[in-house]
């Protein structure tokens, strides 16, 4: 990196605002769409399962782009790549908002994910360069607050826009914010370009990675629709993904400039930390999608109400994150992560008692309490993941960890959507077996409905509708119960990491 002097006064304030907003804009975009999926699916003539491709397509493209962001920034310069990313993000956001079909929306979301990849890592590095050494901690704190606040604002804003405007508005709001970021960044960061290095790129590894990930993700997204391995299409995708993975691992093992730095997994803490972070995020992120679907599809909530029920998860992290950052050096980070996983497990177990009669408070309170887990989850696990690594490996490790976390989120969305549908069918079939003329409860229900003017066919239809609603709740409760158990299991995994959790100049203690 070329040496640039810190910014001072109003210049630093403007630069901080622009770079923080860039991070806020991208994190917001990953949460704001969740509450709009039912509306988007309905307007574009797609099922809710197909509508989740709007999330997974962005996630897959974003994961690949994050992995390559370090190489791209070194090759073309951080400021230049950041500017292209912001402007491209604005353009693809606008195109996503006016997309007339699901296919085009998914295509634009892929482009948006690719262009958004470098924004978070580069906004962080550019921001640090604007501050003198003694204020870099303050810079990171300001930057981190945007990541904490976005999940609070995203569901509420997304719900309000969807209910009171059009679903495309959730993408249109990126346009003025992005243009402001681009304008201020050009004004304050011109002349602060980093040194450009002509580095080789692992083209074969990149091609194998894209083929493997895309085949695997498409298999997950289409599996339920085509009844999984009873379909030749799904079998073919599974074979492509498996073969691609084998060839990728073989190729990357001896590649001098690998797109996947597999040597990082020789470091115990990186392996334990990145696996714990990825598996925990898979469950956390997929539930952020499942909860609004449950509320809107089967409780009749508006997108705004669903957003308000989700938003409390970000309240406690606003208070707790600065305290954890300040005192984390005095606490065993494994204790913090264990607390996070215990809170997550308790909150998911709490949700296993959900029924169609659930109140708004019972939806919102677990979200609020879960904020304790969120505050103790991301930062400590990131520190564990990077501990023991020499400074020259930190950037590569951070990229790999972020890639794994982002991919796990998209995989989780696909898996949970499929599990929710499949378990509903099982519960529905079991409940329908109890509907027979000899069941006194059924007789009483039919008599009561027919006494209110319903025909026999209408009464049976209404009972089936209630069974479907209950079946989806029972299916969601199965998933919540599974997540509660898995979070307890993850506590045992995180304790396989070894302290002290600090950077190492020679990599000692990392094995």
Domain holding 27: CATH number? Answer: 1.20.1250.20
Residues 452 and 349 in one domain: no
Q: How confident is the model at residue 1 (pLDDT cuts 50, 70, 90)?
A: very low
Query: In this predicted structure, what is the pLDDT of residue 344?
Result: 96
Distance CA 120, CA 123 (A): 5
Contact partners, residue 497, CB within 8 Å, separation at least 6: 268, 269, 272, 273, 334, 384, 387
Domain boundary among 236, 256, 276: 256
Query: In this predicted structure, what is the pLDDT of residue 233?
Result: 87
Which has more confidence, 197 or 95?
95
Tally the C-alpha atoms within 13 A of residue 12's C-alpha that lie toward its C-beta: 15
Residues 7 and 56 in one domain: yes
Query: In this predicted structure, what is the pLDDT of residue 350?
Result: 95
Residues 489 and 468 in one domain: no
Query: What domain count does the chain have?
Result: 4
Which has more confidence, 48 or 243?
243
Could you tell me the residue range of the domain that residue 236 belongs to?
Answer: 202-256
Query: In this predicted structure, what is the pLDDT of residue 56?
Result: 82
* Whether pLDDT at 240 is above 80: yes
- Is 223 inside any structural domain? yes
Query: In this predicted structure, what is the pLDDT of residue 511?
Result: 45
Question: How does DSSP assign 163-189, residue by residue?
Answer: HHS-TTHHHHTHHHHHHHHHHHHHHHH
Q: How confident is the model at residue 24 (pLDDT cuts 50, 70, 90)?
A: confident
- Is 141 inside any structural domain? yes
- The average confidence (pLDDT) of the chain is 84
Considering only 133-137, 201-205, 345-349, which range has the smallest mean pLDDT? 133-137
- Is 98 inside any structural domain? yes
Which has more confidence, 111 or 147?
111
Q: How confident is the model at residue 95 (pLDDT cuts 50, 70, 90)?
A: very high
Residues 115 and 246 in one domain: no
Residues 148 and 266 in one domain: no
Which has more confidence, 242 or 328?
242
Contact between 389 and 357 under an 8 Å Cβ cutoff? The reply is no
Query: In this predicted structure, what is the pLDDT of residue 485?
Result: 97
Residues 241 and 191 in one domain: no
pLDDT in tens, 173-189: 889 989 999 998 888 77
Give the mean pLDDT of 447-464: 72
Considering only 149-158, 360-369, 442-451, which range has the smallest mean pLDDT? 442-451
Tokens of 178: 């992005």
Query: In this predicted structure, what is the pLDDT of residue 443?
Result: 65
Query: In this predicted structure, what is the pLDDT of residue 337?
Result: 92
Residues 173 and 149 in one domain: yes
Query: In this predicted structure, what is the pLDDT of residue 137?
Result: 64
- pTM beyond 0.95: the answer is no
Query: In this predicted structure, what is the pLDDT of residue 96?
Result: 92
Residues 190 and 207 in one domain: no
Residue 171, CA distances (Å) to 117, 160, 384 in order: 17, 13, 35
Q: Which of 25-34, 341-350, 378-387 has the highest mean pLDDT?
A: 341-350
Query: In this predicted structure, what is the pLDDT of residue 276?
Result: 94
Give the mean pLDDT of 373-379: 85
Give the mean pLDDT of 87-111: 92
- Is 286 inside any structural domain? yes
Which has more confidence, 511 or 497?
497
- Is 418 inside any structural domain? no
Residues 281 and 315 in one domain: yes
* Whether pLDDT at 283 is above 90: yes
Instruction: Give me the long-range contacts of 405-409 (CB less than 8 A, separation at least 24).
Output: 405/274, 405/277, 405/278, 405/281, 406/59, 406/62, 406/63, 406/66, 407/59, 407/60, 407/63, 407/213, 407/278, 408/278, 408/279, 408/281, 408/282, 408/285, 409/59, 409/281, 409/282, 409/285, 409/286
- Is 438 inside any structural domain? yes
Place of tokens 């077996």: 433
- Is 509 inside any structural domain? no
* Whether pLDDT at 444 is above 80: no
Distance CA 139, CA 319 (A): 17
* Whether pLDDT at 509 is above 60: no
Residues 359 and 235 in one domain: no
Q: How confident is the model at residue 48 (pLDDT cuts 50, 70, 90)?
A: confident
pLDDT in tens, 341-367: 999 999 999 999 999 999 999 999 999
Which has more confidence, 42 or 3?
42
* Whether pLDDT at 402 is above 90: no
Give the mean pLDDT of 393-415: 83
Give the mean pLDDT of 107-127: 86
**Cα angle 306, 419, 234; round to 5:** 125
Give the mean pLDDT of 316-340: 83
Query: In this predicted structure, what is the pLDDT of residue 3?
Result: 60
- Is 511 inside any structural domain? no
Residues 339 and 222 in one domain: no
Q: How confident is the model at residue 493 (pLDDT cuts 50, 70, 90)?
A: very high
Residues 46 and 140 in one domain: yes
Query: In this predicted structure, what is the pLDDT of residue 507?
Result: 42
């Amino acid at each position: 990196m070329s040496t640039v002097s810190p910014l001072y006064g109003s210049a630093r304030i403007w630069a901080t605002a622009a770079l923080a907003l860039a991070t806020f804009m991208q994190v917001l975009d990953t949460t704001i769409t969740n509450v709009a999926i039912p509306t988007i699916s309905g307007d574009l003539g797609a099922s809710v399962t197909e509508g989740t491709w709007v999330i997974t397509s962005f996630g897959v493209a974003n994961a690949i782009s994050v992995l390559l962001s370090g190489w791209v920034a070194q090759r073309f310069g951080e400021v230049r790549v950041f500017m292209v990313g912001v402007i491209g993000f604005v353009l693809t956001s606008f195109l996503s908002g006016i997309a007339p079909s699901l296919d085009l929306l998914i295509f634009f979301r892929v482009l948006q994910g690719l262009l958004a990849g470098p924004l978070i890592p580069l906004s962080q590095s550019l921001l640090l360069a604007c501050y003198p050494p003694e204020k870099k901690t303050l810079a990171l704190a300001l930057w981190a607050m945007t990541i904490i606040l976005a999940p609070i604002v995203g569901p509420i804003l997304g719900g309000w826009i969807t209910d009171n405007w059009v679903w495309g508005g959730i993408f249109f709001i990126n346009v003025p914010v992005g243009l402001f970021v681009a304008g201020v960044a050009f004004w304050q960061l011109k002349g602060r370009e980093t040194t450009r290095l002509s580095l080789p790129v692992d083209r074969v590894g990149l091609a194998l990675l894209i083929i493997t990930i895309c085949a695997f993700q498409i298999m997950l997204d289409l599996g339920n629709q085509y009844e999984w391995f009873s379909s030749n299409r799904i079998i073919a995708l599974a074979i492509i993904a498996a073969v691609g993975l084998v060839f990728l691992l073989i190729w990357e093992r001896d590649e001098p400039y690998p797109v996947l730095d597999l040597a990082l997994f020789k470091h115990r803490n990186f392996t334990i930390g990145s696996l714990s972070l990825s598996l925990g995020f898979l469950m956390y992120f997929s539930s952020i999608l499942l909860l609004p679907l449950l509320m809107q599809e089967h409780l009749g909530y508006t997108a705004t109400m669903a957003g308000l029920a989700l938003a409390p998860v970000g309240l406690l992290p606003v208070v707790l994150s600065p305290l954890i950052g300040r005192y984390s050096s005095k606490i065993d980070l494994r204790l913090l992560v264990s607390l996070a996983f215990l809170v997550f497990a308790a909150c998911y177990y709490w949700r296993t008692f959900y029924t169609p009669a659930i109140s708004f408070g019972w939806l919102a309170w677990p979200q609020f309490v879960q904020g304790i887990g969120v505050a103790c989850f991301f930062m400590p696990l990131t520190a564990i993941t990077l501990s023991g690594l020499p400074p020259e490996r930190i950037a590569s490790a951070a990229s790999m960890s972020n890639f794994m976390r982002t991919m796990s989120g998209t995989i989780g969305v696909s898996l949970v959507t499929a599990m929710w549908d499949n378990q509903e069918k099982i519960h529905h079939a079991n409940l329908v077996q109890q509907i027979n003329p000899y069941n006194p409860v059924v007789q009483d229900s039919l008599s009561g409905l027919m006494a209110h003017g319903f025909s026999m066919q209408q009464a049976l239809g209404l009972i089936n509708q209630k069974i479907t609603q209950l079946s989806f709740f029972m299916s969601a409760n199965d998933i919540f119960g599974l997540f509660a158990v898995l979070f307890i299991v993850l506590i045992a995994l995180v304790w396989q990491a070894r302290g002290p959790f600090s950077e190492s100049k020679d990599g000692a203690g990392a094995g």
